[in-house]
Amino acid sequence: MTTETSAAADFREFKMPDVGEGLTEAEILKWYVTPGETVTDGQVVCEVETAKAAVELPIPYDGVVHELRFEEGTTVDVGAAIITVQVAGAIAPQEAPARSGGDESAPEGAANGTEPAAPARTPVLVGYGVAESSTKRRPRRGAGGVPGQPVPAPPVAAEPVSAAEPEPVPEPVSGERPLAKPPVRKLAKDLGVDLASVLPSGPGGIITREDVHAAAAPAPGQQAPASPGVTAPQPEPAAPTGTPAGQAAAPTAEPAVAAGARETRTPIKGVRKATAAAMVGSAFTAPHVTEFVTVDVTRTVKLVEELKADRDMAGLRVNPLLLIARALIVAIRRNPGINASWDEANQEIVRKHYVNLGIAAATPRGLIVPNIKDAQDKTLPQLAESLADLVATAREGRTSPGAMQGGTVTITNVGVFGIDSGTPILNPGEAAILAVGAIKPQPWVHKGKVKPRQVTTLALSFDHRLVDGELGSKVLADVAAILEQPRRLITWA
């Protein structure tokens, strides 16, 4: 497209952001705008899928959509222009190099020679945060900045930025748009919360999920009813809203099948492609060992019912998965060697002094493993809230790439599918993964008599390069002992 300019308007190209972390392309899933439509700074214009997750991209300036460069379903390289927008009253892109020494990302104040050019913002996808370079967080509007001139601010690690174009002239305070990521905006909309009335607690004045939850009263009836006869952890974090517990969500959208066709071919891309590569790498790099234990969890099931009635847990989702997660955290505290990774390059075992607890989720786009950061420091209510947020975000298909990075140990809940056990493959970079089977009534010898008890089978896979049989057995035995006698959550903690 030939760039057109005039005294009043020019055209800006919005390029596919640099996704980082080894990703070089993304597929355009859906356009939310059409040519001729007016857009504003921060408005989501499209949804793209990387090998990590589906992500919404906001436009960084005001204007009118001129052209959509690619159709939905097209895989686009990072750096390719995907949309052009006619921007009123802005400096034309080709004029910027002559005025600012070749920096197209320089703010207007620098372009006319009144101030030195500020460093360009590094483009990243929503959820990745700002790169560690010279990226600057834009000032809060009305915070003392002079219109047309940038106000320096310290870098903010968690701020989502999606383009390297200059910021528009700050609007008056009365027109200020609350700062929040797209998933947080959707959460506020679902809960009926006005973001303008929410007090932000995030860095740089950004509104977090916790801020939205604090502004909204707990929604009645949030807790899902237990499935008849089955008390396994539910629902599966990846199950779409409305999917009954115990039923699997479709791993991918089924393609249309022509009449009489004997085969159907589906391109391997996105999350499915990344998962396949990661699982092959893990299976053929780390020597897996899997151990099993069958345990009576009747007391844990009873404790779950008691916690549901506890006022301190009101409004929170309480299920066996919550106590299983807590049991694994306690077992790791007693056996810290399991919480480690293998550094092949440096030939070192790296022990982690924090637990980023991953929860495997089978979403419609494929398997993802988001994790709860610093799970070891969370109280039971905090852990319950984190699990609920993880479930809700996975259901919406809005799990950010950052939420899937840095995990140290994982839980996979195959019990929701009615499966008793399995031999899970390690999440790459982790030393252990715990599979939880279905919890169901079984005949069990209890106090010398055969009685129906709630029983489940646990399976622990671990990397035998850094976890020997003794350590792996102790961890699995500790988890089982806690679930059999949940008071150990207190005495062992």
CATH number at residue 486: 3.30.559.10
Q: Is the peptide bond before 235 cis (omega within 30 degrees of 0)?
A: yes
Scan for tokens 């809005």, then name that residue: 398
Mean pLDDT of 402-430: 93
- Whole-number pLDDT of residue 488: 97
Say if residue 194 is in the same domain as residue 67. no
Closest CA to 324 of 454, 439, 416, 233: 233
CA–CA separation, 163 and 177 (whole Å): 18
- Whole-number pLDDT of residue 399: 84
Mean pLDDT of 390-401: 83
Tokens encoding 85: 């927008």
Say if residue 112 is in the same domain as residue 211. no
Say if residue 129 is in the same domain as residue 205. no
From 106, 136, 171, the end of a domain falls on 171
Mean pLDDT of 23-34: 86
Domain count, the chain: 3
Please name the residue ranges forming H helices in 284-319: 298-308
Say if residue 329 is in the same domain as residue 396. yes
Grouping H, G, I as helix, E, B as strand and the rest as coil, residue 415 is helix
Tell me: pLDDT of 59 over 60: yes
Say if residue 310 is in the same domain as residue 199. no
User: Cα-flanking dihedrals φ and ψ of residue 490, to 5°?
Assistant: -90, -50
Tell me: pLDDT of 127 over 60: no
Residue 449 lies in a domain: yes
Scan for tokens 């399995």, then name that residue: 422
475 DSSP assignment: H
Say if residue 182 is in the same domain as residue 119. no
- Whole-number pLDDT of residue 202: 81
Say if residue 417 is in the same domain as residue 308. yes
- Whole-number pLDDT of residue 236: 39
Q: What's the pTM value of the predicted model, to 2 decimals?
A: 0.57
Say if residue 160 is in the same domain as residue 207. no
- Whole-number pLDDT of residue 55: 80
pLDDT band at residue 19, thresholds of 50, 70 and 90? low
pLDDT band at residue 260, thresholds of 50, 70 and 90? confident
More confident residue, 349 or 94: 349
Grouping H, G, I as helix, E, B as strand and the rest as coil, residue 478 is helix
Closest CA to 51 of 269, 241, 257: 269
CA–CA separation, 387 and 410 (whole Å): 13
pLDDT (tens digit per residue) in 356-388: 999 998 777 778 899 999 999 999 999 999 999
Confirm if 85 and 14 have CB atoms less than 8 A apart: yes
Please report, for residues 119, 140, 141, the alpha-carbon distance to residue 146 in angstroms, rounded to integers and kept in the order given: 19, 12, 10
Residue 4 lies in a domain: no
Which of 95-109, 196-210, 378-392, 397-411 is predicted with the least confidence, judged by mean pLDDT?
95-109
Closest CA to 7 of 86, 85, 91, 99: 91
Tell me: pLDDT of 185 over 50: yes
More confident residue, 310 or 270: 310
Tokens encoding 377: 């420091």
- Whole-number pLDDT of residue 6: 41
User: Cα-flanking dihedrals φ and ψ of residue 225, to 5°?
Assistant: -65, 150
* Torsion sign across C-alpha atoms 161, 166, 172, 175: negative
Q: Which domain holds residue 144?
A: 9-171
More confident residue, 196 or 86: 86
Residue 364 lies in a domain: yes
Residues in the chain: 493
**% the chain with pLDDT above 70:** 70
Q: Which of 66, 288, 446, 464 is catalytic?
A: 464
Mean pLDDT of 400-425: 92
Q: What's the chain's average pLDDT?
A: 75
Active site includes 464? yes
311 DSSP assignment: G
- Whole-number pLDDT of residue 212: 81
